[in-house]
Amino acid sequence: MNELELKYGCNPNQKPARIFMKHGEDLPVTVLNGRPGYINFLDALNSWQLVKELKEATGMPAAASFKHVSPAGAAVGKPLSEIDKQIYFVDDDAELSPIACAYIRARGADRLCSYGDWAALSDVCDAACATYLKQEVSDGIIAPGFTDEALEILKSKKKGNYNIVQIDPSYVPEQQECKDVFGITFEQGHNFFEINEALLDNVVSANKEIPSDAKTDLIVALITLKHTQSNSVCYVKDGQTIGVGAGQQSRIHCTRLAGDKADNWYLRQHPKVLGLQFVDDIRRPSRDNAIDVYTSDEYEDVLAEGVWQETFKVKPEPLTREERAAWVAQQSGVSCGSDAFFPFGDNVERARKSGVDYIAEPGGSIRDDNVIEACDKYGIALAFTGMRLFHH
């Protein structure tokens, strides 16, 4: 099939809309269920590139959770810890395949932003992954294949209208790509740049040690950034993004946004949060929203008398600002990537507050010495990759 008609474009007034192959060849995607829209396919094709490259770079199954053409989270398929299972709400008896672990961790990076996501898998979707995804609010999924059982499970979502897209994993795009903006056609070479450990060889800080696990985390960060709307900064720990700051005009705002998300991810592991007793049959989005508010300065919004009873069986004690700060201060071993150079040392100052010990960024700022000095102040290992990763 050469083209696929869509319901409408980015908005309902933008009609007609379609995806098609301009030279008449077949589309590399097949819709197995549902009716994906314009934004769905933007998310699907961007997220597929991310997970495909993560799998190629790390050798591990990879997954991503996309919203509005940027990842809310991405991860490789490392096993889940007991804490992971708690904060990602995995059933005790759940089957956990590597690709299921990858998606659970990708979605768990920022559960609030993953609400209504587009899921992407590097490997065939199995029943274990489909069973977890069935419980979540999601718009669709793209993968190179689906087992019969997984397909049956996913087709039952959204009253049978869940979007399921299969992509040919051997598909390679043309060297040149085009898009129209305001009636004017832009053309550029597709970004085939390969991200691997060799990018991390130029360590310019006093601390030259970047352990193997941290190198994997930096690769996860850089590949994620390659497919994130710029400007962007990404924090990664143990093979999963824990904070993505995307589409900000100022790089320090990217660093703060990603750092705040990383802090929120870590706060969900606080004993007070793990001990929250939710009312029976609470919906997952309501629970996620309640946790997000409880761990913020607005915690009274869910703890006020007459309100907390809607969410909790027992009224929780507040998680104070002092307790939050003390908990986040324990964080360490985090890796941070940036899609372009840090122009000032203030980015390093913010990153280290969220436990960052390793940074990879292109370098090339006239203030590189200030950035290196800030890293040396905290013993952070800094690698200059020499490669910008803007994505628009």
The 10 Å Cβ neighbour count of residue 192 is 8
Look up residue 96 and give its DSSP letter: -
Query: Which position among 33, 163, 231, 264 bears the catalytic label?
Result: 231
Helix axes 98-108, 127-134, angle to 10 degrees: 30
At a CB cut-off of 8 Å and minimum separation 6, what does 231 contact?
246, 247, 248, 249, 250, 251, 254, 339, 340
Query: Which position among 68, 134, 155, 158 bears the catalytic label?
Result: 68
The 10 Å Cβ neighbour count of residue 330 is 8
264 given a catalytic annotation: no
392 given a catalytic annotation: yes
253 given a catalytic annotation: no
Tokens representing residue 31 in the block = 């819709």
Calpha distance 236→273 (Å, rounded): 22
Query: Which position among 40, 46, 55, 67 bears the catalytic label?
Result: 67
Q: Which residues of 8-35 are buried (b: 16+ CB within 10 A; e: fewer)?
A: eeeeeeeeebebeeeeeeebbbebbbbe
Q: How many CA atoms lie within 13 A of 197 on its CB side?
A: 9
Tokens representing residue 194 in the block = 């390969």
Residue 348 contacts residue 380 (beta carbons within 8 Å): yes
Which amino acid would we find at residue 106? A
At a CB cut-off of 8 Å and minimum separation 6, what does 3 contact?
18, 19, 20, 21, 27
What is the set of active-site residues? 67-68, 231, 392
